Amino acid sequence: MGLTIYVNGEYVPEEKAVVSVFDHGLLYGDGIFEGIRAYHNRVFKLKEHIDRLYDSANVLMLDIPLTRAEMAEVVLETMRRNGLREGYIRLIVTRGVGDLGLDPKKCKRVGVICIGASIQLYPEEFYERGLEIVTVPTRRNLNEAVNPRIKSLNYLNNILAKMEASLAGTIEAVMLNAEGYVAEATGDNIFIVNNGTLITPPSHVGILEGITRNAVMDLARDRGLPVAEKLFTRFELYTADECFLTGTAAEVIPVIKIDGRVIGSGRPGEVTKTLIHDFRALTKTDGPEIFQG
Ligand code: PMP
């Protein structure tokens, strides 16, 4: 059975969920999105995702035609209409239909789409064994260009890096910023652990400020582990005790090799394993219920 998808105020079958070839989301990547997870009948960190969406919209001067509360309800109702208690939600806001020119003023109606679907989970062995990743030549976008904190529909920066990872035979890339500091992976944030302290790049280095990242920092603090947002280079990556990535799709995933250098013992570290456990526990209780009772 096909999905029911929210498009501009209506819930329609997926065959009818189409956008115009003149939508500036397609023509220019002029739009924003969120990727959200539902676990155990709850939408995880829904408020945080809605807030980030509206922050991205603000920076791009995209006037979303729904309040935050209405947008949250669209997410919950999309899941209900598809009978989903678990899964992945994609919220998309586009500049809307315009002409072939760049000018966003020609776009009269901002488009809103919400898709709720089952998620293809990463294989469990990634979590048990850990990932091998590489740093790649493509640098993360400058804050002064398109700020990486905007979750925009233009992911070419990340896609180029992902292709470079694939050429190197790995599934994920670490991107540095223009100054050579570690920024993030193509769809995930990065952490290292040194002497029990969690270290992750500050958002001003040029990263998407991940909601999973922030949740993991809170979980670490709850455990009494020190957390620092600090600039670091590849040297600190290679010499870390532990390394892991965080993201909505990946959750918390250990990294055991970077550019051929073995990290720590070459196996997922104890701090990483504790945080994977705590994160999974948090997904049972966080966020509003989809179906009541
Ligand atoms: N960085 C980038 C570039 C991303 O696209 C994402 C989300 N896919 C993340 C980090 C992780 O963010 P979150 O934890 O909010 O999913």
Q: List the chain domain ranges.
A: 4-117, 124-282
Q: What is the pTM of this model?
A: 0.97
The secondary structure of 59-95 as a DSSP string is: HTT---SS-HHHHHHHHHHHHHHTT-SSEEEEEEEE-
Bridge-based pairing state of the strands 242-247 and 261-262: unpaired
Residues 34/53, Cβ–Cβ less than 8 Å = yes
Query: What pLDDT shows up at residue 81?
Result: 98
Tell me the best of 44, 154, 189, 253 to mutate to test the pocket of ligand 1, counting ligand atoms within 8 Å of each CB and taking the most: 189
Q: Which long-range contacts (CB under 8 A, 24 or more apart) does 234-237 make?
A: 234/135, 234/176, 234/180, 234/182, 234/258, 234/259, 236/182, 236/192, 236/194, 236/199, 237/135, 237/174, 237/182, 237/192, 237/261, 237/263
Query: What pLDDT shows up at residue 122?
Result: 86
Helix 68-81 crosses helix 46-59 at what angle (to 10 degrees)?
130
Q: What's the one-letter identity of residue 287?
A: G
Domain 4-117 has CATH 3.30.470.10: yes
Say whether 108 is catalytic.
no
Q: Whose CA is nearest to atom 4 of ligand 1?
A: 187
What spacing in Å lies between the alpha carbon of 99 and ligand 1's midpoint?
Answer: 31
**Is residue 206 lining ligand 1, measured as CB closer than 6 Å?**
no
For residue 224, the tally of other CB atoms under 10 A from its CB is: 7
Query: What pLDDT shows up at residue 120?
Result: 84
- Span 233-242, pLDDT tens digits: 999 999 999 9
Catalytic residue among 45, 151, 230, 284: 151
The secondary structure of 97-165 as a DSSP string is: B--SSS-GGG--S-EEEEEEE---PPPHHHHHH-EEEEE-SSPPPPTTSS-TTS-BS--HHHHHHHHHH
Residues 278/223, Cβ–Cβ less than 8 Å = yes
* Second-level CATH architecture of 124-282: Alpha-Beta Barrel (3.20)
For residue 46, the tally of other CB atoms under 10 A from its CB is: 22
**Residue ranges for the chain with pLDDT beneath 50:** none
Q: What's the one-letter identity of residue 34?
A: E
Query: What pLDDT shows up at residue 293?
Result: 73
